[in-house]
Amino acid sequence: MSNIEEKVVIITGASSGIGEATAKELASKGAKLVLAARREDRLQKLQEEIQNNGGQAIYKVSDVTSHEQMEELAEVALKEFGKIDVLVNNAGIMPQAFLFKKKIDEWDKMIDVNIKGVLYAIAAVLPFMRERKSGHIINLSSVAGHHIYPGGTVYCGTKHAVKAISEGLRREEAISGTNIRVTNISPGAVSSELLKGTTDSETRAGLNEFYKIAIDADSIAHAISFAIEQPSDVAINEMIIRPTVQEG
């Protein structure tokens, strides 16, 4: 029996990219999935695919920028499955541009999704995990959370924040004796829809060129699966996963 089998896993940003790949990977290993994203048609299609392959999945249309909707998501998971074992905090956006271009609306959206959304999802599941003295929170940061580059200043800032939040949460739960595991995963260039968020044409052209080296989202899904599979007394706290040829 896999250590993933029968675990109840919430995945945010499940409608595409890493979230979708992770849902399929974990479903194949017997996890019970609660899929969350804003696009209902995508969620419905993914749920049907998982169920047709013998897996278990429900979905709830959810916006991670709403604390209330994250609380409702956790309640749905508990009502349907009676517990929450894992949160995969995957939802994120990546609009890029130099600061002087003053893409202030994009800054605000990145802060709301990439930082507040991570915190809201954690807040929604943490009380239940602490009560059970068991759980696993997996946050998707980025290589941008380790390496700052021109044009990605605000995005890098949000992903540095995710890394800091992950480490802070890990330390808090470690000294509290709750047995809650925390994993921060930092992907490099991965094939996904993130590039579509960049409205600045000059920056987007550079990103499109750089992302020619991108690896498949399945590679990150396998890493998430690996972290969950470990025995409860083993925590994989940090993973950086790049294409072999990615330098920065």
Q: Is-contact 177 198, C-beta < 8 A? A: no
The number of CA neighbours under 13 Å toward the Cβ of 138 is: 29
What is the Cα–Cα distance from 33 to 59, expressed in whole angstroms? Answer: 8
Is 155 a residue of the active site? yes
Which of 59, 120, 149, 155 is an active site residue?
155
Residue 223 phi/psi, 5-degree rounding, is -65, -40
Query: Which of 205, 183, 185, 207 lies closest to 194, judged by CA?
Result: 207
Query: Which of 129, 92, 81 lies closest to 15, judged by CA?
Result: 92
How is residue 211 annotated by DSSP? Answer: G
Q: What angle do CA 116, 233, 81 make, to 5 degrees?
A: 60
How is residue 59 annotated by DSSP? Answer: E
The number of CA neighbours under 13 Å toward the Cβ of 66 is: 13
E strand residue ranges, 62-179 = 86-89, 135-140
Please report where in the chains the tokens 């979708």 appear, as a residue: 20
| The pair of three-digit structure tokens given for residue 72, joined into one six-digit string | 């409702």
| The pair of three-digit structure tokens given for residue 65, joined into one six-digit string | 């920028």
Catalytic residues: 155
